[in-house]
Structure 1
């Protein structure tokens, strides 16, 4: 870091800013991204208004590109997968991986990271723009300086012997200094006889030997205090001391030694632990924290029954001041802590219903993601109910109906955040459990979610099968609303496969049944699918009528996801009607909401419609930018359905820019992908585009072949655009 800074100074360059984040004190992804975005944007953006963690990540990259920053990420192992995960050292959150890759690529600035784990995600950058500097050993001079500055007494020879035994481990040296000052007037000869022999990955085992020696010397109140302290995920405040550490706990006298202390003795004890460097105090925040190695030791050195009862008290404590109806994620934080500590106390059933379902979801309002758009947070909460957060195992609630609900919730959250590969297993497990428990109506929902996953990943035939099964089970359950939803979803997949007559029949029946149930036309996401169907067959007025009704209903009920869909559909309608300004306004609204709620499929669909508008307006570079963004999101999420359309946009844009070589790269790929998934509408569009490209390059023979394919495909699916293909073919 010194070399980097000196280089800037010699060139008369000053860094635009220095950002530090300590993950030991705050290991929440969204709070980290909010703080970094607020800093690099210099307050021009209010991060809480952006719900998508990916959008925040992209905005951070944009601002960092504009300046020269020193970014310090301390304790990053809190955001890495530990040995219990499949890939030790990889980032838990893909947004962090994306930022690390960007920091490694960006030519300006410096990112300094401290972590006890290797940064596996940066292996490709090793020795290029990423250097791995082990910091296990402080040098002998630095170690001597550390010990003497902290009041340790003795000869250099005696100190060097201890330093070598502890391998110059900084945390161990600072803590042993506190230990010696506390008990032996700083005499180095009284340092615990512990030998460090293990590698970085197993360093905690060496440190535990030293902490065990400390624990033997500690008073009982100190040990109990540190054991309770180790259970908190966030910084600890003085209010927590009163509400948890010294509060009566049900069915245990574990903390009586703290409750019975005088206030003066309790404060003296805490100050002593700060001096010992076993905990640290942040004066600006008025809060306490500890190193994860210390936290890990005292959390493990804890009777399991007492540990659960302490978690139970923390769960009750957060519940005492959690608001009944929080309106923001910040206000929900005590509820999130309740979920964590309640599950750690094995109160899974109570936590699921009383906290997660009633207060975070607000029953069937699904507040956390429908109103707050916090899919990532929802995913992390659902994970808490699974053994070690593993969605391949059964959730730990007692009733099978609750297990199936959590499995389905996990699959839906994974799908909605673009983790398509991970979503399939819990969705299928939920369906199996629904069927086993004869919950046929819920099985219909599960099959519909599975169909949603399959069609977005390009498995249209599998999606069709799941959608048909969803309808069959809904009809067996005689649940009208589920029949409506299943019919509409089935109709959409039939449409994509080019089965127009069957699709129109299912849409019409769903629309009629919805009218009998609610008095409305088909609405929400299913209504927009119907409007999109009308758009594709050029029944514009019917599409407008339906989309307009949907927007009114969705705005009245604050259904953010569907409001985005409505604006996107209305944007398409206004584009076709020749009203580009109105179209652009709708599409900007659609994209803004899509990014706020953090659903990549909504963002993709809004971007693709923006691409069509750009092409119509002759803004070909804007079209290529948005289409490339779509392909980037598809690569990240596995949503292959959208790739052919994005590549068709690129082919059209490059053709208009007279870049035939680039157009010829994208159009054949679009055709092959569409044909492989039997996506007939894009298959016809790609064949027509290939005909245009061949005609432009002077190959009339190939142009005729492609246009014949376009006419055949578009005729078969009753695509109104067939007339365009027929006219071009006739001209040859």
Structure 2
């Protein structure tokens, strides 16, 4: 794809990018809809290409250091959003703006907007930045509604910005050191998908649960040379004091009807402009829903926009957000069920629902190993060319074809050049197919997570890893093992023996990973941090309650720490465990 310097391309529907892969061109270079050879009718006066994903390690001036490898891959297509792009440019140029928070529900296009802006910034060597660092909390194994931690982000960022000992100090000390390093030069910091670390809708909606991140963002809000851009589904309530005084909030709206119509036409949907705009309105201008609608109509109905009435949304009528995207995913599922090829593709999507991070090829091979998992891997091809002799070549081709088809349909993310063998998809797609698999095929759900538990627990080279990065597979193994309901085994053989290392408490005392520890402990609760799972022994339930309370207290979440510690203390009293009573009472 060609590269050019940044331009704000004004047209009747704002900023417009086009992929060479998903739409053809005639001999004059004009875009044509795949399959019909007709030029796209629009009032576009200038057409520019940008990289689909900002480069993770750009060829930059010696003073500029860039790492955006953690950010998700998104499509290069962007429709509308000219005012938001201009806003980001304006905030970057303004010495008075320290933080921009982009707020919108999932699938509206927050990450796509930021990736587009970064790609355009990269054309001009990031316009005076000295450091450019991006991090996605979704891509690091966090899911909304779950306990998440910023420990890995803080440790990796400290190391990247030049801290000699990222594990030294408590959460507050680490956050302050990172803030000082960021402020030392003009830094562009991107924090994508912050909502897993925020309190869900309710009395404390949007409040950061991670104290280190709260300290960091508040310190940056006071003032810095550069800019921090946050994407989230919820406004970051901790920054309200500085709103309009260094912190800007932008609520990303759904696409206007003309922008949605342009997106549908770009994806191969055909029909009158009025009909396309009506379709955009019916799907609330939701970017992900319109993208899936466009690819579905193009694939299943030759792009006929009138066939959108075949998509039934009744079952999701009461869903407040994301219902239109869910409706299209249901239609895709029904369509894929009609052929072996479609079922192979559907099983890949179900596999994606097992992960809360990009799925690496080794984990996928673990799922596809013999024996087959009924309803999950039985008709799936094997991506490995090494298992079945000559027939493996056929199987690998089928796998590559299925993956390409899902990427063309925008159900899988485009290939990530930093992780070319991994598969990823939008969090809403991951959540949808994961929920369907768990509810409709619980046996396959448990067996798959059991295999992933075995894979990740055996992945580290060391039996007892030394750093947070080396321990990452063990953290994933805990989550998968608990989803497989192997609670007792995971607690004893993995969490206590290899992560905590019994009384040594290595993960907290040596690495200071209290946030990670709290997230790990949450896997053993039905209701964090009130009711441990029933399948644990009674004394383990009590110990986990006390452990959760202690970690909440260490993280500064004092009001939340009281209940689990009191419940744990009552449990020790009933068991007359005087040593544990003394310890728990002291912590209270």
Number of aligned residues: 444
Deviation at 1:250, TM superposition (A): 8.3
User: CA 1:329–1:130 in 2, change beyond 3 Å: closer, same or farther?
Assistant: closer
Mapped pair 1:95 → 2:212: yes
Cα 1:20/1:448, change in 2 over 3 Å: closer
Matches within 5 A, 1:84-123: 87-106=204-223, 108-123=225-240
- Answer whether contact 2:157 2:178 (CA < 8 A) is retained: yes
Return the match for 2:560 from 411, 422, 428.
422
How far did 1:200 drift? Answer: 13
Shift of 1:4: 5.3
Give the match's secondary structure for 1:19.
strand
Q: CA deviation at 1:352?
A: 0.9
Equivalent-residue separation in structure 2 for 1:103 and 1:154 (angstroms): 49
* Other-structure match for 2:128: 14
Q: In the alignment, is residue 256 of structure 1 matched against residue 340 of structure 2?
A: no
Alpha-carbon distance between aligned partners in 1 of 2:313 and 2:227, rounded to the nearest angstrom: 32
Equivalent in the alignment of 1:247:
369
- Structure 2 residue 408 is the aligned partner of structure 1 residue 275: yes
**Bigger fraction of residues in strand:** 2
What displacement does 1:3 show?
4.2
Summarize the Cα distance change of 1:36–1:186 in structure 2 as closer, same or farther, 3 Å threshold: farther
Please state whether the residue corresponding to 2:233 is helix, strand or coil: coil
Deviations 1:641-679 (A, max 9, x none): xxxxxxxxxxxxxxxxxxxxxxxxxxxxxxxxxxxxxxx
- 2:581 aligned partner: 446
Deviations 1:116-143 (A, max 9, x none): 2333333444455444333241234433
> What displacement does 1:9 show?
6.0
Residue aligning to 2:154:
33
Query: Computing the radius of gyration over CA atoms, which structure comes out larger, 1 or 2?
Result: 1
Out of 193, 202, 215, the residue aligned to residue 333 of structure 2 is 215
Q: Does residue 1:401 correspond to 2:539, yes or no?
A: yes
C-alpha contact 2:573 2:581 (8 A) present in aligned 1 = no
Between the aligned partners of 2:471 and 2:317, the Cα distance in structure 1 is 40
Q: Distance in 1 between matches of 2:211 and 2:274?
A: 48
CA shift, 1:404, in A, is 1.9
Q: How does 1:34-73 map to 2 (within 5 A)?
A: 34-39=155-160, 41=161, 44-46=162-164, 48-50=166-168, 52-73=170-191
| 1:339 equivalenced with 2:478 (yes/no) | yes
Task: Quote the Cα distance in structure 2 between the aligned partners of 1:337 and 1:196.
Answer: 35
Is residue 258–residue 277 contact of structure 2 (8 Å, CA) maintained in 1? no
Q: Give the SS at the match of 2:401.
A: helix
How far 1:308 sits from its partner (Å)? Answer: 2.1
Alpha-carbon displacement from aligned partner over 1:395-447 (angstroms, at most 9, x marks no partner): 54431121122223223333333433333332332232223234x3xx32332
1:120-519 map, 5 Å: 120-191=237-308, 202-218=320-336, 219-244=342-367, 246-248=368-370, 252=374, 254-258=376-380, 262-280=395-413, 281-286=415-420, 287-302=422-437, 303=440, 304-322=442-460, 323-388=462-527, 390-438=528-576, 440=577, 443-451=578-586, 453-454=587-588
Contact 2:465 2:471 in 1 (8 A): yes
Output aligned runs, 1:446-595, within 5 Å: 446-451=581-586, 453-454=587-588
Alpha carbons of 1:400 and 1:410: their partners in 2 closer, same or farther (altered >3 Å)?
A: same
CA contact (8 A) 2:532 2:541 kept: yes
CA distance in 2 between counterparts of 1:279 and 1:122 reads 34
Aligned mates of 2:533, 2:430 — CA distance in 1: 27
Report Cα offsets for 1:56-115 as digits up to 9, x if no partner: 3212222333444333322222332335x7633332312233333334332653333222
- Give the SS at the match of 2:511: coil
Which string of whole-angstrom CA distances, capped at 9 and with x for unpartnered residues, describes residues 467-510 of structure 1?
xxxxxxxxxxxxxxxxxxxxxxxxxxxxxxxxxxxxxxxxxxxx
**Hey, what's the Cα distance between the residues in 1 that align with 2:221 and 2:449?**
40
Aligned equivalents of 1:7 and 1:387: distance in 2? 43
TM-score normalized with structure 2 length: 0.68
* Whole-Å separation in 2 of the counterparts to 1:36 and 1:223: 37
Map of 1:593 onto structure 2: none
Contact 2:347/2:377 (8 A) holds in 1: yes
**Distance in structure 2 (CA, Å) of the matches to 1:225 and 1:334:** 22
State the match for 1:24 in structure 2: 138
Tell me the distance in 2 between the aligned counterparts of 1:412 and 1:6: 44
In structure 2, relative to structure 1, the CA distance for the partners of 1:99 and 1:210 (3 Å cut) is farther
Tell me which residue corresponds to 1:674: none
Q: Distance in 2 between matches of 1:350 and 1:7?
A: 51
Q: Distance in 2 between matches of 1:408 and 1:13?
A: 50
Contact 2:569 2:584 in 1 (8 A): no
The structure that is helix-richer by fraction is: 1
How far the C-alpha of 1:268 sits from its partner, in A, is 0.8
Is 1:249–1:313's contact at 8 Å kept on the other side of the alignment?
no
Deviations 1:602-623 (A, max 9, x none): xxxxxxxxxxxxxxxxxxxxxx
Is the CA contact (8 Å cut-off) linking 2:372 and 2:378 kept in structure 1? no
Structure 2 contact 210–515 (Cα < 8 Å) conserved = no
Whole-Å Cα distance in 2 between the matches of residues 71 and 6 of structure 1? 16
Stretches of structure 2 that go unaligned for 5 or more consecutive residues are 1-84, 96-125, 143-148, 337-341, 383-393
Instruction: Give the Cα–Cα distance (whole angstroms) in 2 for the partners of residues 8 and 375 of structure 1.
Output: 34
Unaligned runs of 5+ in 1: 455-732
CA deviation map 1:235-254 (0-9, x unaligned): 1122222111x123688564
